[in-house]
Amino acid sequence: MTSGPSKSTAPWSDLLLRNMAELRELYNHASDQFDEDAQADFARLFDGSSRMDEMLRDADSSRHDLMNVLSAVRGYSEILREDLSAEHADIDAALARLLKAVDSANSDSDSTPARASSRRIIHSEPGFILAVDDLQENRELAARYLSRSGHIVVTAASGEEALLTLDQADVDVVLLDLMMPGMDGHEVLRRIKEHPEWRATPVIVISGRQDMDGIIECIEAGADDYLFKPFNPVLLQARIKAGIERKRWHDREELYRQQLERNEKFIRATFGRYLSDEIVTDILERPEGLELGGDLRRVTIMMADIRGFTTISERLAPAQVVTLINRYLGAMTDIIMAHQGTIDEFIGDAILAVFGAPQHRDDDADRAVRCALAMQQAMEEINQRNREDGLPEISTGIALNTGDVIAGNIGSERRSKYGFVGHPMNVTSRIEDVTAGGEILIAGSTLESLQREYRVGQSRELNVKGIDELLQVYPLLGEQS
């Protein structure tokens, strides 16, 4: 009759490994106090323990082989107990516990009533656990306990190995032994908490002794939880479960945050150049208010250009032309943005801006009018600076028109921009053609859209191609005082 490792062998083999781990830790701290014979016996005992590990993992190993190893473990434990001096009471007690575990394995494993607590399995979302311990028994034990509740467990035998694993895999929880040769647990913890990507990974520290000071130090350094060795499997599972839940929350939160950031970046990249920061922020805060794609919008269109600019520029050096035009466009852009206008494009010295898209506001026409007044007012200062720089004075004409246009991302896959199409655009251009320097001409449609009163001059009639009637335009003189 052969029986591989079955779930029924688990309770006693866990106990055995646990006691073995405990013994090995005690022994490692005191190994130099033993004579050669005792050291050799300990070595054989631990050899037996490693073989047992292998057998429990290997489905093909027979009960007979397992019992042989158990027999050897028992034999060497008893030899050691016979030889131990009184000063090693702790090791003697550990050996006694180990022998008790061997006994429970011997009395038919299938019928051994396991203690309720070691039978209890805490179920949780499966996670990827990194168990770091220099002792093989402890690694093996953690792996067994945790894989039983569905987790994937990778182990590392040193701090250095642990960091390598963290570098390569997305670990959910780190189970970290504090006492290790080389890089110890404290150092590993410090590095995890310093690393931008690992920082959020919950770390459960394990202390070999009831080392409260060490634990407190670790919690202060960012550890999420702790366990004392030998640890209770149910407690371990419960803490791992809590750790995984923390990690999952963090991951979801992080994903959500990244999506938001991407969306915001996209929106800022798409609109940032046409819209004031205020509008972009507004859109970001109320994404439902912005519908992308072409749609019909009632907007107030502004066209402004420098009168006779071609003639002026012919008399100037190229660098002077650039200074002149940048000074003008820079000032105008600031004013338009301050009035929440959308700059569609600059065509040479001409500016095309729109009020009311992508974001509609009830005072679109009013803002356009006030914007135009502010622009004309700013010309004084521009010319002042031009004079100082020995540049010619310039004047601008501004046309406003209100109508329905198609607003949206226009262009091809490779190159597109948020732009406007429609007859009102052409009409605005026609008005602009007849605007004199320093003048603001507004169409009847804009005048009708205004919420507040403004002073306007005598209307003029304009013939526009494609419209049978004559277009009424009004020179805007200023705000109602």
Partner 1 sequence: MTGTILLVEDNELNRDMLIRRLNRAGLEVIAAGDGQQALDLMRSEQPAVVLMDMNLPVMDGWTACRHAREDASISQIPIIALTAHASDADRLTALEAGCDDYATKPVDFPGLLIKIEKMMEPR
Q: Give the residue from 41, 22, 15 showing the smallest Cα distance to 90.
A: 22
Residue whose CB is less far from partner 1, 75 or 437: 75
Min separation Cβ 159 and partner 1, Å: 33
Q: What is the 3-state secondary structure (H, E, C) of 264-285?
A: HHHHHHHHCCCCCHHHHHHHHH
Residue whose CB is less far from partner 1, 5 or 422: 5
Rounded Cα gap, residues 392 and 385, in angstroms:
10
Min separation Cβ 162 and partner 1, Å: 32
Residue whose CB is less far from partner 1, 106 or 395: 106
Rounded Cα gap, residues 421 and 406, in angstroms:
5
Whether residue 2 contacts residue 63, with contact meaning beta carbons closer than 8 Å, is answered with yes
Min separation Cβ 70 and partner 1, Å: 4
Min separation Cβ 207 and partner 1, Å: 32
Rounded Cα gap, residues 86 and 433, in angstroms:
110
Q: Give the residue from 171, 193, 192, 189 showing the smallest Cα distance to 127.
A: 171
Backbone φ, ψ for residue 239 (5° rounding):
-70, -35
Whether residue 206 contacts residue 177, with contact meaning beta carbons closer than 8 Å, is answered with yes
Residue whose CB is less far from partner 1, 76 or 226: 76
Min separation Cβ 5 and partner 1, Å: 15
Min separation Cβ 108 and partner 1, Å: 6
Rounded Cα gap, residues 302 and 93, in angstroms:
92
Rounded Cα gap, residues 444 and 461, in angstroms:
10
Identify the helix (H) or strand (E) that includes residue 370.
helix 364-388
Residue numbers of the site for partner 1 (CB under 8 A)? 1, 44, 47-48, 51, 62-76, 78-79, 82, 102, 105-108
Residue whose CB is less far from partner 1, 108 or 413: 108
Residue whose CB is less far from partner 1, 57 or 286: 57
